[in-house]
Structure 1
């Protein structure tokens, strides 16, 4: 997750100049003003399957017909696959093949080697998606995500455009810019990073390891202040934090973003390409919520998306968009599908 203030004040430095010139091309749909977010998922996910893919034994759920257009939905931190319980059911009913994997460090996903580096950098998570698609014999898919999952979906669409049929990205383009992250931010924006600075310290790492579930519940509440999730909803997702690699992946992810931890050399070329902010050509719908603050109009990242594009704004919705607004997230996937040249 990223702080609200960081998104609203720091996003402009993360995208190449020229976005404002193209902002008039963005289509913004009416804001959400209807029902309150559901307190708990209305649908249950299917049984967890396991498949060896790249460096991982990936846990995932699957719904819908085997011959439907593949949709891969990627969760964020500190959440899990249950963010998509309702979205998955909606899309499966409409004929999509929906796959929802646990990211590395969550749920039943495990490293195949005990010696593998517990790496949380963005290129590694992107490579995980490609390995999963290869293992499942999926050539192209619609990708959807928020938080870590949204970043990962953008990474895949940037580096492997031939594998991405369409994209639904909450908060738009949030690919990490390491150079920009080394620059100081205004005090209000820096305040929004509090947990990242906490993770940068030995005390913070120990605190997260000892208090993972209480810590993550605080993040849920602060990132979605109008979402009155119930204990059952939180407990469903909190079980995913029991993964033995969870804390290692989380701590490395945030330290790597601040250049306080090294990534792996195998991803250097990918990170260099991402630093150049390659344009994303896949049909895309970006979604902004209250969490995005002043950046919710989407103009800061409009220039990145050069294919068919829409931007949607959801008011009174926090960070966990697919769980808080499942109908709207599913509708974006359906609409992206309609934008694809079949």
Structure 2
């Protein structure tokens, strides 16, 4: 089933989306991470549409054909921006409620909406658990091995890192694919289908801001401050949730989500996927299809 490509206008963005499945089916929104795009969900979206779901796969801000409407809008990559974008997309599509599935940045957007606006969320499939950042505690160092895995974040804190991402965005992103999913042997053609999304004019600005803001090293968008204030309280998520975590994740090993049940007030299940790295829907599409359909059947 070939997806339809639509442009959805919110107050801030024109969000490019791929849409599949019957309009009357239960709504499912699939959210990609960094550095990635909607192609991450090809192995998930088609089976869900075939099962009768209305599947929406948006390009996040700074990716693909998604564009800011106003040149003066801060190119924020903060968690409040991602969650706000998702809720605004649902409003623009007139979706009162949807099942949300995401990983990495997309998982963060899904967790934000599930935590703050649970009435809009039928269920949550989250990669690597509770993805809402605790910015107040961000200065606390992690174990040395984890600090090493986050090398790219420290790099992006420097102007050299900004220039490096701008000049070498495809090579750097490809390196992250290799490091974060060390047992995944992706075809070069698969990366090349996604790489044009990194040519978005706001890709670098949004990415750099995301990695600086989460450590308190860059100010947030003032318009999003009320959302960030709510997220600072680390709100629990009450909607039915399935957490998927790759056993071979090279940037966030399974132990990073081992204690996340405390962040969930509703039904919660955690599944570690053997032989799978960070790019979860690309590497384990069937597990995502099963998780989504399981939650929809509740």
Tell me if both proteins adopt one fold, taking TM over 0.5 as the criterion. yes
Corresponding residue number in structure 2 for 1:67:
24
Corresponding residue number in structure 1 for 2:271:
312
Corresponding residue number in structure 1 for 2:185:
228
CA distance in 2, matches of 1:164, 1:272: 21
Measure how far apart 1:299 and its partner are: 3.6
CA distance in 1, matches of 2:8, 2:280: 27
Secondary structure at the aligned position of 2:259 is classed as helix
Q: Contact 2:4–2:20 (CA<8 Å) still a contact in 1?
A: no
CA distance in 2, matches of 1:302, 1:58: 33
Match of 2:88 among 109, 113, 131: 131
CA distance in 1, matches of 2:289, 2:153: 31
Q: Contact 1:45–1:82 (CA<8 Å) still a contact in 2?
A: no
* Uncovered stretches (5+) of structure 2, i.e. residues with no partner: none
CA distance in 2, matches of 1:308, 1:338: 14
Secondary structure at the aligned position of 1:227 is classed as coil
Match of 1:269 among 226, 229, 254: 226
Corresponding residue number in structure 2 for 1:33:
none
Q: Which has the higher contact order (CA 8 A, sep 6+)?
A: 1
Secondary structure at the aligned position of 1:48 is classed as strand
Measure how far apart 1:54 and its partner are: 2.5
Corresponding residue number in structure 2 for 1:335:
294
In the superposition, the TM-score normalised over structure 1's length comes to 0.84
Corresponding residue number in structure 2 for 1:215:
172
Measure how far apart 1:241 and its partner are: 0.6
CA distance in 2, matches of 1:182, 1:202: 20
List aligned pairs for 1:106-185, cutoff 5 A.
106-185=63-142
Q: Do the aligned partners of residues 76 and 172 (structure 1) sit closer, same or farther apart at CA in structure 2, a change above 3 Å counting?
A: same
CA distance in 1, matches of 2:187, 2:8: 32
Measure how far apart 1:45 and its partner are: 5.4
Give CA-to-partner distance per residue, 1:186-240, whole Å, 9 cap, x none.
Answer: 3222111100000000111101100000000000001111111111100111011
Q: Contact 1:54–1:132 (CA<8 Å) still a contact in 2?
A: no
CA distance in 1, matches of 2:278, 2:225: 30
Give CA-to-partner distance per residue, 1:7-58, whole Å, 9 cap, x none.
Answer: xxxxxxxxxxxxxxxxxxxxxxxxxxxxxxxxxxxxx852421111220000
Measure how far apart 1:294 and its partner are: 4.5
| Aligned pairs, number | 295
CA distance in 1, matches of 2:284, 2:223: 37
Corresponding residue number in structure 1 for 2:283:
324
List aligned pairs for 1:78-93, cutoff 5 A.
78-93=35-50
Corresponding residue number in structure 1 for 2:154:
197
In the superposition, the TM-score normalised over structure 2's length comes to 0.96
Give CA-to-partner distance per residue, 1:139-167, whole Å, 9 cap, x none.
Answer: 00000000000111001111111111110
* Uncovered stretches (5+) of structure 1, i.e. residues with no partner: 1-43
Q: Contact 1:57–1:111 (CA<8 Å) still a contact in 2?
A: yes
Q: Contact 1:45–1:61 (CA<8 Å) still a contact in 2?
A: no
Secondary structure at the aligned position of 1:90 is classed as helix
Bigger Cα displacement from structure 2, 216-225 vs 178-187: 178-187
Bigger Cα displacement from structure 2, 286-295 vs 329-338: 286-295
Q: Contact 1:45–1:85 (CA<8 Å) still a contact in 2?
A: no
Q: Do the aligned partners of residues 185 and 299 (structure 1) sit closer, same or farther apart at CA in structure 2, a change above 3 Å counting?
A: closer
Measure how far apart 1:184 and its partner are: 2.2
Secondary structure at the aligned position of 2:253 is classed as helix
Q: Quick check: 1:295 aligned with 2:252?
A: no
Bigger Cα displacement from structure 2, 76-85 vs 186-195: 186-195
Corresponding residue number in structure 2 for 1:186:
143
Measure how far apart 1:309 and its partner are: 2.1
Secondary structure at the aligned position of 2:152 is classed as helix
